[in-house]
Chain A
Amino acid sequence: MAERAKVERRKIGPSPKAVEERAEEQIHAHVEEEVDQLSGSISLLRLVCVQLVCGAAVLLGLWIVPYWMGGLSIVFQPVETLRICVATAFPIVSFSFSMLRLQPDICPVWWAAFRGFLGLPIGILVASFLATVFGAPLSYESAIRTLHWGALVSTLTVVPVAAIAGGSWPIWHRLFAATKPNGALELALCLPAHGAAIGSWVGAWPMPLDWGRPWQEWPVCCTYGAVGGYLLSVLVSLFWNAINVRHSTKEARRKAK
């Protein structure tokens, strides 16, 4: 994940140094403001809703919508299914996370969604590069599959961050390179993204086994792994945030007393 963020950063930011620094400082200030805001319970509720909606969208897109559209399944028609899944999940993820964008006063919703849209192809490129490097086959058909799988993973990992933070390097660095999420929102971004990446990594292990099952084909089990890891870590981040909020509100009350 880290390297995805890294490479992406590299591609986005060719602007002059001084301007960049100033912009970053501004963003930095805004992030801190936002984080302060997020400790309030209203935006946390929004965050929970957004996460649940995204999780549901992925589930829907991977299993239910393809089934409606002529009984497709990820095992036998991976490309079509993944395409439908991305088509379903991407708009939902992109728009719902755009609601949580930083600096809502200067950045309209459509701009945040557009940033998410920009993030998608970059994420696809990075994810596909990594998948290929890890051993995804190189034939034309397999490359198509890899790109589709990359689109799904990109939707789960890069798009939310791109929609919320745009090209702010400190946030990308904190989320993906240092893995030190700061506050509930960043945790909700960082944990599922890592979950999806680690999930796909784990999902690749059964592939060399000689069981001859259709789901051992690339990219089926990696997709299972990615989605499984994503959903699991969404749940974990929800719980984590809930516990933290309760803890902090208690402390706040104690302080108030």
Chain B
Amino acid sequence: MASVFLKFATLGSLALLVQMVGLVLFVLGFFPVKPTLDGNSGPESFSPACEFDSSQKVDEPVDTYGDDSRVESVGFPAKYDRLVFMVIDGLPAEFVLGRDGKPPARDLQLAMPYTQNLLATGSALGYHAKAAPPTVTMPRLKAMTSGAIAGFLDVAYNFNTKELLEDNLIDQLARAGWQMVMLGDETWLKLFPNRFHRLDGVNSFYVKDTVEVDNNVTRHLDVELEKDDWKLLVLHYLGLDHVGHIGGRSSPLMVSKLREMDTIITRIHQTVLSRDPQSLLVVVSDHGMTDGGNHGGATYQETDALALFISKSSSDLKLGAAPEASPNSRPSDNEAYQVDLVPTLALLLGVPIPKNSVGALLPPLFSSLTPKLQLRALELNSWQLLRIMRKRSPRSRCISDMCGEVELINVNQSASSSESGDDADKFCRRLNLALVKHNYWAQNGEKTRDFEEAKEAYLHFLQPTSVWLARGSTQKLFGLVVTGASLLLISTVLFLTGVFQLSKKTSGSFSSQSGRSIQAASPLLKLVAIGEVCLHSASFGSSSFVEEEQFTWHFMLSTLFVVLLRDSCQQFNPGNKLRIVGSGSSNRVPAGRHKTIESQSGGQFQATTSKRTVKEVLQICLLLTFARTLRSWHRSGVNWAHLPDVAKTLENSHPAVTACIRAACLLIITMLCRWLVPKSLPRFVRRVTKACLTLTAVLIYIYYTCDFLRAAAISEAWRIEPWATISAQGIYLLLGATFLSAFTLFPWLIICNSGTESPSRFQEKEGAFYVMSLQEEPGTEFFLENGVRRSMDAVGTVFVSCWCLLQLLLQQPVNAAPLTILLLQLLLTVTLFRTAQGSFPRWTSVLTLHWLGASGHFGLGNSNTLATVDVAGAYIGLSSHSTLLSGTLAFFITYGSPLLYMQGLLLSVHQKKLETRKDDLELRQRWLMEDLLLPCYLPLAMNSVVLTVFTGVLYLMQDHLFIWSVFSPKYLYVVATTICTYLGTLIFAAVGGYSFMVISKRMQRTKKGNKAETTKLE
């Protein structure tokens, strides 16, 4: 027995190890670091050469453009020498510029009268600056300063702000000797430490505070605006993003927040800009927000960021809509990309464009310059992009031709030489053409017509190239990807072999002995389980199914329940009763009771069976209803997410309604948890546990009160915040202590040698219904497995209680009711499989719990876009910023439901044994397999199937249009789910292993004690 157990354990851990290695390899290979240029752009960037690694050539200035080009080739004259860079976090451009040619909504327009006036008179120029996903602050700030679009995995670093080491605008300005002042989000200070002359950082820590966070920025404004020692002033306002997180786009606070922002723009415009004509105000937002106020994904609403250039005189900025504007390759004139800010600002301020910037400059901002300077700006930007292109596709012939000889070669010749149609070559030929036209213009008397042509040719190169570079079609590391994927495949095969071996071992050798286990091989159940796993995997091939995965899970779960329903109906067959009683009873009923049962007539037996069937049917129907309720709570997904659902209705109602529901749910869950505390514990321990849980509930209630006061704006945020934080910290402490002491102490304290005391509530209640229960003879001897089961059950109950209370604290207020439903569902499922008494094989219960967890994940409002990660909750109870803690909390919130059900597996262990008369060895083997190994194996195997299949899908879809917006975020979720499964399995294995160890030690001790007693007596 031990050898079989060891074999499976080794197989499992081997597969696990292979999977981890494979996953890491694949991720490293598939999301590689983009090839970037090292170092900073220096003066060499002003010369039209494409050297990026050697700088010897730079020393000799390249003289191509007439007499005064020498002056220009070492620099580009700055148009502005003072910049106010104002970031309004999360402001959708739609609020200022409108959408699709329509002006913004009336109330929003009225909220920003000054800005709208500036736009109307032409002294401001606004762009919809499309932000690249992930639309969260830190990567966006990096993009806005370095111009590079970071690799996808950077989103993982969002919590982990690190210094920006790439070449960026701030460093360029610092090198040019600019004095800089920074007020606002401290992300800036983390990205650019020691660059700022004066600073005051605020953190985006209390997401629920929308006022103070901005006042802390504005309070310095009077002083700073009067001073003239700075050249760059960075302002970063977080309030608007907080407003969004709390109330969404249409929050009542939004208008007043916009009005506040407008006042600040007014102040800057009337002080700095009017005093110094050479100064520029740039108002940008880092990302937009969805209707619900979240961000992170790739929808239009989230990527619709603002870039607004405001200068003193309207002549500086010629609006793109003006008739003489060049025809753009972009759909609309006021649409740009966020990275376009970087080359534009760099050239306007006369510093080199940062090396890895992929932006293309915005031509209307340069239209007041002389034609020569305009073309020069375009040329500099073009050379800079060409350098990145050369790094990206080093084998492009056209580029190497161009760089091999600085002399411009004949356009026709180069066009004919590279017929490959490769993108890089195509763009490179466009650049060649532009350079030729530029040259022609310079040599043929600088005619306006030629100038327009040259400019158009440059733009024809710049804008598509910028988009192409930004899309980041980088080469994957093929070797790593294939190795990783094949390792994943191997691990899946190992896991599946393990599961099938296990289920064969458990059902095969015992089906003959336990009467009802014959149905263990219910072919339909197996077919449905395997078929649905296959269907689910196949559904990943379609981006809609990935977006709307909640439908798939719900459908699968409902199907599983319906099949279970059918199976339990199958057992209720009065026609067969005689045969069942006649032939089956000898196996099922121990000899002593055999006669009595039969003599009491088959009628009683049938009555109990039918009663049990009715119960099962009712339970399954209730479970189906619960699942449906959860399903309708949050719409989740993408395509139908905007339609009303229960959560939205509650959010839009008065906060008191939600608060009442939340408090009621707290009460219900607390009562349930108190009731759940197992009876197998000594009375004192039980009381202490109950007291801990109740105290936690009281603290949660205090927290709720604070939250309600804040939400209903009854009291001010800062006055309440400390109370909320303290109570939350108290909850963490209590729950952590309960959790740990339950884990360490319960196996020692559990009462396991009294067969008379019913071990848990479930059995106590249902025991009366069964014939089976009759065979439990009072005073059975102390079984190891009984003790371990009981101990795991007890620990599991406390774990589930703690977890539910923690989730009640962390989740959004509207999620309190779904949480209650989740807990009820868990208890009902556990009861169902206990009622069924082994009529369903063990793997069914594990599978059902696993699927319930996955389905509940969407029931709590999660989806496969990054926008639904609840960032606000991740800061509850933290008094200082900690990446690790808030990351863990965010993970707990997102994976609340799967982790709840993974802990629920501990409860499902407590099955009553069917036959007491089997010899110990066989029984123990079965028990080890069913109760300890299978719950570890099955979730890992299921997750591994999903992981492997999705890895394959991701690889196949790498050129799909939605690869970055749908498939990659989903991959992050898949990886996080894998971690969650590891965590759940770890908990299960740890509790199981520890209980096993402790109980066997206790057994030995009692045996010794007994022996000692007997010897003493003798």
Asked if A and B are interacting partners, one says yes
Against A, the Cβ 8 Å flags (1 = close, 0 = not) of B617-653 are 1000100110110011000010100000000000000
Q: Give min CB distance, B563 to chain A, whole Å.
A: 9
Please tell me which stretch of B13-21, B504-512, B568-576, B710-718 contacts chain A, meaning at least 4 of its Cβ atoms lie within 8 angstroms of it. Answer: B568-576
A6 CB within 8 Å of chain B: yes
Closest to B565 in A: A3
Q: Which residues of B contact A207 (CB under 8 A)?
A: 551
Does B566 contact A133, Cβ atoms closer than 8 Å? no
Asked whether A208 and B575 contact (CB < 8 A) given A2-B569, A2-B570, A130-B562, the answer is no
Against A, the Cβ 8 Å flags (1 = close, 0 = not) of B599-630 are 00001000000000010010001001101100
Q: Which residues of A contact B627 (CB under 8 A)?
A: 133
A63 CB within 8 Å of chain B: no
Does A135 contact B558, Cβ atoms closer than 8 Å? yes
Does A170 contact B547, Cβ atoms closer than 8 Å? no
Does A178 contact B573, Cβ atoms closer than 8 Å? yes
CA of A210 to CA of B542, assembled, Å: 10
Sample 29 A-B pairs with CB under 8 A, ordered by A number. A1-B566, A2-B565, A2-B566, A2-B570, A3-B562, A3-B566, A3-B569, A6-B565, A6-B569, A6-B572, A6-B617, A21-B574, A24-B575, A129-B621, A134-B559, A135-B554, A173-B572, A173-B575, A177-B570, A178-B573, A201-B559, A204-B555, A207-B551, A208-B544, A208-B548, A209-B542, A209-B544, A209-B545, A210-B639
Does A28 contact B555, Cβ atoms closer than 8 Å? no
Q: Give min CB distance, A209 to chain B, whole Å.
A: 5
A254 CB within 8 Å of chain B: no
Against B, the Cβ 8 Å flags (1 = close, 0 = not) of A113-156 are 00000000000000001101111001000000000000000000
Given contacts A173-B569, A173-B570, 12 further A-B contacts (CB under 8 A): A3-B569, A130-B562, A133-B624, A133-B627, A135-B558, A170-B575, A177-B569, A177-B572, A177-B573, A205-B555, A208-B639, A209-B545
A7 CB within 8 Å of chain B: yes
Does B551 contact A135, Cβ atoms closer than 8 Å? yes
A5 CB within 8 Å of chain B: yes
Does A132 contact B628, Cβ atoms closer than 8 Å? yes
Which A residues form the contact surface with B (CB < 8 A)?
Answer: 1-3, 5-7, 10, 17, 21, 24, 28, 129-130, 132-135, 138, 169-170, 173, 176-178, 201, 204-205, 207-211
Q: Give min CB distance, B222 to chain A, whole Å.
A: 52
Asked whether A5 and B569 contact (CB < 8 A) given A135-B628, A209-B542, the answer is yes
B158 CB within 8 Å of chain A: no
Closest to A134 in B: B558
CA of A147 to CA of B439, assembled, Å: 76
B812 CB within 8 Å of chain A: no
B367 CB within 8 Å of chain A: no
Which B residues form the contact surface with A (CB < 8 A)?
Answer: 542-545, 547-548, 551-552, 554-555, 558-559, 562, 565-566, 569-570, 572-575, 603, 614, 617, 621, 624-625, 627-628, 631-632, 637, 639
CA of A169 to CA of B639, assembled, Å: 45
Q: Which residues of B contact A211 (CB under 8 A)?
A: 544
CA of A207 to CA of B550, assembled, Å: 13
CA of A138 to CA of B632, assembled, Å: 9
Does B574 contact A24, Cβ atoms closer than 8 Å? yes
Q: Which residues of B contact A129 (CB under 8 A)?
A: 621
CA of A108 to CA of B613, assembled, Å: 34
Asked whether A178 and B570 contact (CB < 8 A) given A6-B565, A133-B624, A134-B555, the answer is yes
Closest to A3 in B: B565
CA of A170 to CA of B576, assembled, Å: 9
Give the secondary structure class of B's interface.
helix
Q: Give min CB distance, B39 to chain A, whole Å.
A: 45
Q: Give min CB distance, B570 to chain A, whole Å.
A: 4
CA of A95 to CA of B912, assembled, Å: 51
Closest to B626 in A: A133
Q: From A3, A10, A24, A170, give the contact of B614 (CB < 8 A).
A: A10
Q: Give min CB distance, B367 to chain A, whole Å.
A: 42
User: 3 shortest A-B CB distances, which residue pairs?
Assistant: A2-B566, A208-B548, A6-B569
Q: Which residues of A contact B639 (CB under 8 A)?
A: 208, 210
Q: From A21, A176, A210, give the contact of B544 (CB < 8 A).
A: A210
Does A28 contact B617, Cβ atoms closer than 8 Å? no
Q: Which residues of B contact A6 (CB under 8 A)?
A: 565-566, 569, 572, 617
Q: From B547, B552, B573, B631, give the contact of A173 (CB < 8 A).
A: B573
Q: Which residues of A contact B603 (CB under 8 A)?
A: 17
Q: Give min CB distance, A14 to chain B, whole Å.
A: 12
Q: Which residues of A contact B572 (CB under 8 A)?
A: 6, 173, 177
Does A3 contact B617, Cβ atoms closer than 8 Å? yes
Does A208 contact B569, Cβ atoms closer than 8 Å? no
Q: Give min CB distance, A249 to chain B, whole Å.
A: 30
CA of A6 to CA of B562, assembled, Å: 12
Q: Give min CB distance, A193 to chain B, whole Å.
A: 13
Q: Which residues of B contact A176 (CB under 8 A)?
A: 566, 569
Asked whether A208 and B551 contact (CB < 8 A) given A3-B617, A6-B617, the answer is yes
Q: Which residues of B contact A130 (CB under 8 A)?
A: 562
CA of A133 to CA of B625, assembled, Å: 6
CA of A24 to CA of B577, assembled, Å: 13
Q: From A7, A133, A208, give the contact of B617 (CB < 8 A).
A: A7
Q: Which residues of A contact B548 (CB under 8 A)?
A: 208
Closest to A207 in B: B551
Residue of B569, B625, B628 ringed by the most chain A CB atoms within 10 A: B569
Q: Give min CB distance, A111 to chain B, whole Å.
A: 24
Q: Give min CB distance, A130 to chain B, whole Å.
A: 7
Does A177 contact B566, Cβ atoms closer than 8 Å? yes
Q: Which residues of A contact B544 (CB under 8 A)?
A: 208-211
Q: Which residues of B contact A138 (CB under 8 A)?
A: 632
Residue of A132, A173, A207, A210 ringed by the most chain B CB atoms within 10 A: A210
Q: From B543, B545, B574, give the contact of A169 (CB < 8 A).
A: B574
Q: Give min CB distance, A179 to chain B, whole Å.
A: 8
Residue of A28, A178, A201 ringed by the most chain B CB atoms within 10 A: A178
CA of A208 to CA of B540, assembled, Å: 13
Q: Give min CB distance, B569 to chain A, whole Å.
A: 4
CA of A21 to CA of B603, assembled, Å: 11
Closest to A5 in B: B569
Q: Give min CB distance, A94 to chain B, whole Å.
A: 25
Does B570 contact A133, Cβ atoms closer than 8 Å? no
CA of A132 to CA of B570, assembled, Å: 23
Q: Give min CB distance, B813 to chain A, whole Å.
A: 23
Residue of A6, A130, A132, A138 ringed by the most chain B CB atoms within 10 A: A6
Closest to B551 in A: A208
CA of A17 to CA of B604, assembled, Å: 12
Closest to B564 in A: A3
Q: Which residues of B contact A5 (CB under 8 A)?
A: 569
Q: Which residues of B contact A205 (CB under 8 A)?
A: 555
Q: Give min CB distance, B829 to chain A, whole Å.
A: 16
Q: Which residues of B contact A177 (CB under 8 A)?
A: 566, 569-570, 572-573
Q: Which residues of A contact B545 (CB under 8 A)?
A: 208-209
CA of A65 to CA of B628, assembled, Å: 36
Closest to A28 in B: B575
Closest to A209 in B: B544
Q: Which residues of B contact A210 (CB under 8 A)?
A: 543-544, 547, 639
CA of A129 to CA of B624, assembled, Å: 10
